[in-house]
Structure 1
């Protein structure tokens, strides 16, 4: 089963919540210092509600916690094999280096999908998509405040993000394993991207701390059946409590987001 099939199976369980695993050890409950221990508690509490998990690579690499990242993904694979893992590393290079980055995500860490930056064109994307059973989640229209500086620039009368979406839908998706990153902070752009890429799952950052529009996201980004999205929440779930009830609080926040999404579908 490839990544796209796994996501469709999770959607059938009435969840479009992506749980981001971005550790800030200084925000852990008092007395807890082990990243894997923290992640394991969050995963065990939220796996039944999640369509996927998304560890952010830099949060581990910056503090020398790559072993904790590997252990985190191994724990998900061993205990919740139907919940896919997106390694959020936003790689972007060409040729043999791109292939090595793909192997890093898929073979070294065991992720089901990886985020990539397509700025260097097809040479960046295709080495990743050649891993047929793995997912490639391409930055398209991101949620950060300065995203429009480049992504909204017009090429042949259309924004750059539309060109990315169209290529992702067609020539880059030969193996049916491509998704797009489309931020919730730009719901109107999301409608245009959905028109250009009607079949692709969207990974949606920007809900919660960044102030993204959940209703607009679902209205403009969903498939006709109401699915189609992986709506990410990281800090809002992970740090719902910094007390001993942190895992229970994470469960409650995940359920709250899941129910909010389903109520609007």
Structure 2
């Protein structure tokens, strides 16, 4: 999917909502555990109920890998279901990969070619030769971890190096990578006050912003400092939407929570 197609969907739906699919069998409605594939059954219901309210889905790969082969098969079925039934939806493999060049190429093939995701999250610590293999794929997007929403972000990401925070070095250096126009960045919603400075470095890039809802991020603050002329934001909510109910009405409850965020986004647009 191209950036232009993503922007079209944002305008069409009056939404820049991304729904995170972090499936924990201990949290999904108990009646689904009777299904042959409870993970996929849960995802399918959530997707069918929310697809008209969001522009992206973000399966967190760890929540599938944790269940071994069955989890990976559920991931395959989930991404195939989205691509076949809602191809206008932007898909994010939240995998946080990052390794030397030939290994990164194989990770990229796994998510871009085999599973046909539109994008994948990448850790930048190993530098250019771990990122550029992902950037080599046409109409695919590499979402670089820049400033994350967890408390541990302060361990390294905001440390000063030559008078400048490390995350700023990451942003500036990444712009020199080959095919850097395919980059997006993760910036946590709990770091909203940093967004104004981030926008001076990457004014045109899309930012994937987790942390709104359960983690305490404020949508209005994020938009105030992070929105650009093409919106330039994908606001992710996971637990606040998908676990809105543990009853048989879980999909309807998820849609209700997604609608609340979509209406707020519509007003901000």
Q: Does structure 1 residue 23 correspond to structure 2 residue 23? A: yes
Aligned to 1:200, what secondary structure does the other structure show? coil
Aligned to 1:189, what secondary structure does the other structure show? helix
Determine the structure 2 residue equivalent to 1:244: 248
Q: Which moved more, 1:101-110 or 1:138-147?
A: 101-110
Where does the alignment leave 5 or more consecutive residues of structure 1 unmatched? none
Determine the structure 2 residue equivalent to 1:212: 217
Structure 1 residue corresponding to 2:162, chosen from 156, 159, 166:
156
CA distance in structure 2 between the partners assigned to 1:103 and 1:208 by the alignment: 33
CA distance in structure 1 between the partners assigned to 2:193 and 2:128 by the alignment: 26
Determine the structure 1 residue equivalent to 2:202: 197
Judge conservation of contact 1:56–1:87 (CA < 8 Å) in 2. yes
| Superposition TM-score, scaled by structure 1 size | 0.95
Give how far 1:52 is off.
0.4
Alignment of 1:51-130 (within 5 A): 51-64=55-68, 65-130=71-136
Structure 1 residue corresponding to 2:234, chosen from 205, 230, 233:
230
Aligned to 2:146, what secondary structure does the other structure show? strand
Judge conservation of contact 2:104–2:133 (CA < 8 Å) in 1. yes
Where does the alignment leave 5 or more consecutive residues of structure 2 unmatched? none
Determine the structure 1 residue equivalent to 2:48: 44
Q: Aligned-residue CA RMSD in angstroms?
A: 1.3
Judge conservation of contact 2:16–2:234 (CA < 8 Å) in 1. yes
Give how far 1:175 is off.
5.6
Q: Which moved more, 1:4-13 or 1:154-163?
A: 4-13
Judge conservation of contact 1:93–1:120 (CA < 8 Å) in 2. yes
Structure 1 residue corresponding to 2:257, chosen from 243, 247, 253:
253
Aligned to 2:247, what secondary structure does the other structure show? coil
> Which portions of structure 1, spanning 4 or more consecutive aligned residues, are displaced by more than 4 angstroms?
none
Judge conservation of contact 1:161–1:193 (CA < 8 Å) in 2. no
Aligned to 2:120, what secondary structure does the other structure show? strand
Q: Which moved more, 1:96-105 or 1:6-15?
A: 6-15
Determine the structure 1 residue equivalent to 2:145: 139
Judge conservation of contact 2:18–2:235 (CA < 8 Å) in 1. yes
CA distance in structure 2 between the partners assigned to 1:111 and 1:6 by the alignment: 15
Give how far 1:59 is off.
0.1
CA distance in structure 1 between the partners assigned to 2:226 and 2:127 by the alignment: 24
Aligned to 1:131, what secondary structure does the other structure show? coil
